[in-house]
Chains A and B, each alone.
Chain A
Amino acid sequence: MSNIGSYEKRRENFSWDIAKEVLNWKEGEILNIGAMCSDRICAQGKGAKKALIWQGFGGKQKTYTFNDLKVLSNGYAKFLEDLGVNPGEKVCLFMDKIPALYISFLGVLKMGAVAQPLFSAFGDESLEVRLLSADTKVIFTTRKHVKKVRKIQDRLPALEKIVVVEGDPSKLKEGEIFFDVEAAPKVEEFSVYASGPDTPSVLHYTSGTTGQPKGAQHAHGSVWGQALTTSWVLDLRDDDIYWCTADPGWVTGTSYGIIGPWSLGVTQCVLDSGFTSAAWYQFIQNNKVSVWYSAPTAIRSLMRDGEELVKQYDLSSLRHLASVGEPLNAEAVIWSEKVYGLPFLDTFWQTETGSMMITNFPGMTIKPGSMGKPFPGIVAGILDLKTNEPVTEPGTVGLIAFRPGWPSMFREYVKQPDIYRSKFYGAADDAMPAELRVDESLWYISGDRASFDKDGYYWFVGRDDDVINTGGHLVGPFEIESALVEHEAIAEAAAIGKPDEVNMEVVKVFITLNPGFEPSDDLELNIMNFIRKRLSPLAMPQEIEYSEKLPKTRSGKILRRYLKAIEWGQEAGDLSTLEDD
């Protein structure tokens, strides 16, 4: 029997307070995610239970108990307090998937600051944009990544401290601080910040079609949604060994790679080494992973390496598989059932929603390729593309939307209330985030398109904007285009998503060259690496098309929509605003 039991009955009798029952939560306890994932589990008598089984490059391994999480996160919390960091200030975590990332995340939250994890493969420009926007005060990083911080620190007036958490302290530059929590005196007790449901907790940046990435601010109350979805969708139980393959630089890696499992006191594994199918299977076998939460891109890569490889490993410990980040194609679901004896269950949610919204549930009839059904307590709808009114006819494609009010919903876009307001259909012009996020008469517009069928299953169609979903990560075309035109050879640029068998989409760019430059193999490679280093490998164009001229509106705006339609073999739509030749 799964944790959720009957989906239909759960929908009928739903209240978010069930999360408190699942967590055995008592009124009067401090609602602080950092403490809920460590101190609280120890107080339940599970201090000696394994919390984190970590494996890094070269097979290096470390194991931490919940008591270790408590003491070491106390160490980070005290260190930050001693540094003069105040509750509400932003502390960036910029490192690979090493234990310090997971444990410092808890420490930051315990002392009331906001944790801002950033993907460690970001280049210096991507890092700068996000630190500048957030007014980040402290950054925790490693010797490997501190070099990127050094390049931009002079342009970050709010950044007061650069803290290197591992490596050789003698290699630090003047003004940088070395802090290895495992070598520091143990902090057995720490007075946890008394946060509440609306106290800011985690800040994740997400890309849009226009402008630079936006900071989606979450709050400690998100734990109700994250814990309950972890219990009902991922079906985690006390004796599970759980593996979430996501990086905490992205929302899946914090909501379900830290908060969900640890708030429930479940052991989880982390593999911090490059992807190979064999290494992943070996990791599952060695650690007897029972619940595995991964991404379609990884699943399709595993498919490519075939069934014979699967047979070389003992994967019998697996009992439940789920997927997130991009639509999971039917073939992948069918294949996983064939080779692992279990289907991957697709889950749909976003950085902004903070927790799962539409998913396939354990025990439910799976329609391969479908997103599943709304989580109990979530009111979902498909809004007409022209009128924004809810559609009633199955099969009609429209915008996926949700009635506000679920606990994990983001609280604001940092410094951008107008953009936050624009996400709510029906919002008054002067409505503020605190009103919008609880107004159940509105619709929160996700930015994705789908339809539902006669049985109430949702079917993903695509993005409603130009944001590129590559390998489950959203990349903003504006960010890429802005970086491209900084290259000496490039005059104009347009970035779009191009279909890709494994990654769903990859970045393709169209460029015009400045006088004196000619297309060449060397230039193409130079441009690719330029973007890879400045932004990230995800943003690197995998195809570059040279053009004499880019299509534009009469007002001079480049028509990405037109280029994308051509690339995808679709109708280009209304081109009446296209610039005359």
Chain B
Amino acid sequence: MADEMKDMILEYVVEEYVDEDDDIEMDFDTPLISSGIVDSFSMVSLKVFLEKKCHVSLPDKEATPEAFDTVNKICELVRRFQA
């Protein structure tokens, strides 16, 4: 289940934020915000995606650049609020 969530988020990030010919190897620990792949304004659409697809409400206070910096960290955050 956890891996399914990771796969879904990674797939979304690659599809929406990474161009086909960008030479970026993406995995669950690839920095997203601190690497500039996802800018801080675009985090909002990522947050909306997570809330809609994972049926969870993420408080703005918790949706920080640090918490959104990798797929693994995002999954941790989502699981915390799903619990």
Contact = CB atoms under 8 A, between A and B. Distances in A.
B16 A274 contact: no
Contacts of B65: 274-277
Interface string A116-154: 000001000000000000000000000010010000000
Interface string B36-59: 101111101100110011000000
Nearest to A58: B35
Contact of A471 (B31, B41, B66): B41
Contacts of A272: 36
B34 A276 contact: yes
Contact of B39 (A121, A277, A501, A522): A121
Interface residues of A, number: 34
B80 interface: no
B22 interface: yes
B41 to A, nearest CB: 4
A362 to B, nearest CB: 30
B19 A274 contact: no
B33 A275 contact: yes
A536 B45 CA distance: 12
Interface residues of B, number: 26
A63 interface: no
Contacts of B34: 57, 273-274, 276, 279
Nearest to A148: B19
B70 to A, nearest CB: 12
A371 B80 CA distance: 42
Nearest to B52: A521
Contacts of A525: 45, 48-49, 52
A304 interface: yes
B52 A537 contact: no
A555 to B, nearest CB: 35
Contacts of A304: 61, 64
Given A276-B69, A278-B66, A540 B40 contact: no
Contact of B16 (A57, A521, A529, A538): A529
Interface in B61-80: 61, 64-66, 69
B48 A524 contact: yes
A96 B34 CA distance: 14
Contact of B64 (A147, A305, A524, A542): A305
Contacts of B64: 276, 304-305
Nearest to A278: B66
Given A525-B48, A529-B16, A273 B42 contact: no
A274 B48 contact: no
Interface in A39-72: 57-58
The interface centre, meaning the residue of B33, B36, B48 with most chain A CB atoms within 10 A of its CB, is B36
Contacts of A522: 52
Given A57-B36, A274-B35, A538 B41 contact: yes
Contacts of B38: 274
Interface string A492-531: 0000000001100010000000000000011011001100
A288 interface: no
A275 B64 CA distance: 10
A372 B55 CA distance: 46
A501 B39 CA distance: 19
B60 A274 contact: no
B36 A96 contact: yes
B45 A273 contact: no
A370 to B, nearest CB: 28
A537 B42 contact: yes
Interface string A524-554: 1100110010001110101000000000000
A395 to B, nearest CB: 34
B4 interface: no
Nearest to B69: A276
B44 A542 contact: yes
A171 interface: yes
A529 B45 contact: yes
B25 interface: no
Nearest to B12: A525
A480 to B, nearest CB: 14
B21 interface: yes
Nearest to B61: A304
The interface centre, meaning the residue of A144, A276, A279, A521 with most chain B CB atoms within 10 A of its CB, is A276
A532 B69 contact: no
B18 to A, nearest CB: 11
Given A144-B22, A275-B33, A276-B66, A528 B39 contact: no
A274 B33 contact: yes
B27 to A, nearest CB: 15
**Closest 6 interchain pairs by CB?**
A537-B41, A521-B52, A274-B33, A537-B42, A276-B65, A528-B45
Interface of A: 57-58, 96, 121, 144, 147, 171, 272-279, 301, 304-305, 471, 501-502, 506, 521-522, 524-525, 528-529, 532, 536-538, 540, 542
Given A57-B34, A57-B35, A524-B52, 5 more contacts: A96-B36, A273-B35, A471-B41, A537-B42, A540-B45
30 contacts: A57-B35, A57-B36, A58-B35, A121-B41, A147-B19, A147-B21, A171-B21, A273-B34, A273-B35, A273-B36, A274-B31, A274-B33, A274-B34, A274-B36, A276-B33, A276-B34, A277-B65, A277-B66, A279-B34, A521-B52, A522-B52, A524-B52, A525-B49, A528-B44, A529-B16, A529-B45, A532-B45, A537-B39, A537-B42, A542-B44
